């Protein structure tokens, strides 16, 4: 068709009353086109997409620089090597019309192109589509891209799905493709909805698959090396049934002889607390509060006695109190909780090995004192002393502590006992986090 025929067709078509309608009418058409994109197609060949530099430049700073910057592209054709024809066509459709045909097969490619060409509204639309179509079967395929493209809302939604549907998610095809950093973050979450032995099975399976990828024999010590200490220490072996531990964990040979010995003593009630592993059960209702705004390292610990007062304005179940430590540090702790009358209502004593922990303030090294069963704290009653006598190496500590912290509708109030010679105060010291559920 000649240019005159195309022009006549354009003006004789239905009236276009908006700029959007006028731009849409020239999308993927030769009329007024002054650049062509050459892109590979799904058949292995290539296709050309006619476009208009001005329309592209007013929509994307990248295209503006490409066509009107100091090093402007002057060739009539521009080759694009990092995407397929169908994906670039949808990006251009969005630029011309504010519309895009998103589907599960193209949305990741469109997200990539939206980031590359700085089209935030298209990136938002891709993120919304992914959130609406996210489930346990695809979440581990989406999460790495959400991290890579720094899509915080999408990333948060991914973790919500994982926490709610953990058992289904770790059995999906995408689970074995995740990086170890994602697995580290997974095993350290309190709110996973899965039995601990099933989580361990998934972790062991991931390690075996990694051995296959690297051409290694999937022996216990090799799997341990691939997993790393942070992942192994993130598994809560003490909450398993003894039979589950014996049938599943022992046969994996991932634990050291010392760890196995310690845990078997724990299951047999010979040892009060196993060294190095959390005893807090996971569950979607578990919540954590951090009372510090800053975390530091290097405070003396040997023989120190730390104390803090606590009051809550609603009835809660206290599952654990977290204390600061240092990497690979081993601590002997005598821990007591007293009510307002000074009566001891909880007492724990044992040796604890510090591990990596995550809080809303940041990562740190520490360990936790778990209460079995959880400790019932009544509303508006001062628990005059949470007291921890700690013997061990210098540890992390908190600064910029808050006298009140509100979380999930519960107001936590803290009080100091420094006048009695205790080291910890509201502003600084120990007692990093409190793990609780609503009563």
Percent of the chain at pLDDT exceeding 90 = 67
The CATH number for 331's domain is 2.60.120.820
Confidence of residue 360 (pLDDT cuts 50, 70, 90): confident
- The whole-angstrom separation of Cα 59 and Cα 2 is 29
Please tell me the predicted confidence (pLDDT) of residue 278.
85
Instruction: With respect to residue 312, please indicate whether it lies within any of the assigned structural domains.
Output: yes
Confidence of residue 282 (pLDDT cuts 50, 70, 90): confident
Please tell me the predicted confidence (pLDDT) of residue 42.
77
Measured from the Cβ of residue 390, the count of other Cβ atoms closer than 10 Å reads 23
Look up the domain containing 95 and give its range.
3-132
Counting the structural domains of the chain, the total is: 3
Confidence of residue 7 (pLDDT cuts 50, 70, 90): low
From 87, 106, 132, the end of a domain falls on: 132
Instruction: With respect to residue 113, please indicate whether it lies within any of the assigned structural domains.
Output: yes
Instruction: With respect to residue 365, please indicate whether it lies within any of the assigned structural domains.
Output: yes
Q: Please, are residues 223 and 254 in contact by the beta-carbon 8 Å criterion?
A: yes
Three-state secondary-structure class, residue 46: strand
Mean pLDDT of 238-259: 93
Instruction: With respect to residue 332, please indicate whether it lies within any of the assigned structural domains.
Output: yes
Q: Specify whether 186 is located in the same domain as 328.
A: no
CA quadruple 183, 328, 196, 228: dihedral sign: positive
Average pLDDT, the chain: 89
The CATH number for 103's domain is 3.30.710.10
For tokens 């099933």, name the residue.
198
Q: Specify whether 144 is located in the same domain as 128.
A: no
Q: Specify whether 228 is located in the same domain as 319.
A: no
From 234, 267, 300, the end of a domain falls on: 267
Instruction: With respect to residue 324, please indicate whether it lies within any of the assigned structural domains.
Output: yes
In this prediction the pTM is: 0.66
**pLDDT higher than 80, residue 10:** no
CB environment 330-359: b (16+ within 10 A), e (fewer): bbebebbbbbeeeeeebebebbbbbbbbbb
Instruction: With respect to residue 282, please indicate whether it lies within any of the assigned structural domains.
Output: no
Instruction: With respect to residue 35, please indicate whether it lies within any of the assigned structural domains.
Output: yes
Q: Specify whether 117 is located in the same domain as 143.
A: no
From 132, 156, 182, the end of a domain falls on: 132
Residue 391 token pair: 């013997």
Closest CA to 408 of 308, 315, 295, 292: 315
Q: Specify whether 236 is located in the same domain as 313.
A: no
Q: How far is CA 354 from the centre of its chain?
A: 22
C-alpha to C-alpha distances, 170 to 46, 97, 148, 239, nearest whole angstrom: 39, 40, 21, 19
**pLDDT higher than 70, residue 287:** yes
Residue 334 CB contacts under 8 Å (≥ 6 apart), including other chains:
348, 349, 388, 389
């Amino acid at each position: 068709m000649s240019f005159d025929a195309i022009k006549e067709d354009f003006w004789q078509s239905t009236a276009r009353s908006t700029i959007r309608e006028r731009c849409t009418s020239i999308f993927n058409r030769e009329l007024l086109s002054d650049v062509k994109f050459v892109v590979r197609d799904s058949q292995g060949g290539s296709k050309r997409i006619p476009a208009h530099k001005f329309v592209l430049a007013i929509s994307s700073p990248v295209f503006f620089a490409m066509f009107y910057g100091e090093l402007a592209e002057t060739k009539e054709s521009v080759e694009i090597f990092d995407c397929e024809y169908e994906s670039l066509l949808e990006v251009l459709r969005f630029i011309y019309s504010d519309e895009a045909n998103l589907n599960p097969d193209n949305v990741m490619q469109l997200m990539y192109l939206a980031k590359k060409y700085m089209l935030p509204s298209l990136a938002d639309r891709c993120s919304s589509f992914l959130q609406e179509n996210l489930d346990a079967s695809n979440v581990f395929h989406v999460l790495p891209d959400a991290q890579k493209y720094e899509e915080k809302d999408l990333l948060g939604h991914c973790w919500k799905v994982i926490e709610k549907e953990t058992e289904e998610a770790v059995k999906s095809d995408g689970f074995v493709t995740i990086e170890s950093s994602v697995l580290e973050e997974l095993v350290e979450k309190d709110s996973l909805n899965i039995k601990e032995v099933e989580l361990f099975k998934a972790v062991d399976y991931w390690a075996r698959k990694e051995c296959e990828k690297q051409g290694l024999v999937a022996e216990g010590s090799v799997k341990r090396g691939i997993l790393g200490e942070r992942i192994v220490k993130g598994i809560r072996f003490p909450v398993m049934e003894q039979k589950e531990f014996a049938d599943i964990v022992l046969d994996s040979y991932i634990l050291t002889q010392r760890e196995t010995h310690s845990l078997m003593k724990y299951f047999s009630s010979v040892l009060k607390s196993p060294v190095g592993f959390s005893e807090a059960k996971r569950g979607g209702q578990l919540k954590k509060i951090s009372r510090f705004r800053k975390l530091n390292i290097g405070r003396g610990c040997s023989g120190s006695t730390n104390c803090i007062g606590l009051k809550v304005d609603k009835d809660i179940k206290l599952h654990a109190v977290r204390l600061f430590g240092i990497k690979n540090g081993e601590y002997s702790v005598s821990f007591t909780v007293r009510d307002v009358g000074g009566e001891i209502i909880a007492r724990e004593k044992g040796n604890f090995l510090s591990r990596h922990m995550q809080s809303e303030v940041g990562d740190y090294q520490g360990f936790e004192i778990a209460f079995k069963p959880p400790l019932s704290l009544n509303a508006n009653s001062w628990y005059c002393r949470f007291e921890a006598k700690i013997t061990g190496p210098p540890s992390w500590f908190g600064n910029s502590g808050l006298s009140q912290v509100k979380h999930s509708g519960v107001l936590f109030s803290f009080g100091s006992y420094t006048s009695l010679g205790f080291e910890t105060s509201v502003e600084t010291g120990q007692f990093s986090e409190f793990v609780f559920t609503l009563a």
